[in-house]
């Protein structure tokens, strides 16, 4: 049983490393974290609102590069 748990952990770590290495990085202004994040999370009481905002921000940056 312990071998399965260790194997699952190793697979998780390897997949995490692959995702980190293949993810494109975007730069975000401090304003996003200092002003918008508390406002979005505090207003909606849902951290998912900030994640959606980051996705939309990244999508617009990607469209601008094409």
| Residue 2: pLDDT over 60 | no
- pLDDT for residue 25: 67
Q: 16 is in which domain, residue-wise?
A: 2-65
Residue 24 or 56, more confident:
56
Q: What is the pLDDT of residues 13-55, one digit of tens each?
A: 888 888 877 777 667 677 777 777 777 767 666 667 667 777 7
Q: What 3 state SS string does 1-66 have?
A: CHHHHHHHHHHHHHHHHHHHHHCCCCCCCHHHHHHHHHHHHHHHCCCHHHHHHHHHHHHHHHHHHC
| Residue 1: pLDDT over 70 | no
> Strand runs (DSSP E) across 1-66, as ranges?
none
How many domains does one find in the chain?
1
* Residue 33 in tokens: 């974290």
Per-residue confidence band for 60, with pLDDT thresholds at 50, 70 and 90: confident
């Amino acid at each position: 049983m312990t071998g399965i748990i260790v194997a699952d952990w190793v697979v998780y770590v390897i997949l995490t490393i692959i995702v980190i290495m293949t993810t494109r990085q975007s730069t975000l202004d401090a304003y996003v974290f200092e002003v918008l994040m508390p406002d979005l999370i505090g207003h909606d009481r849902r951290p998912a609102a900030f994640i959606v905002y980051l996705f939309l921000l990244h999508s617009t940056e990607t469209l601008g590069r094409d």
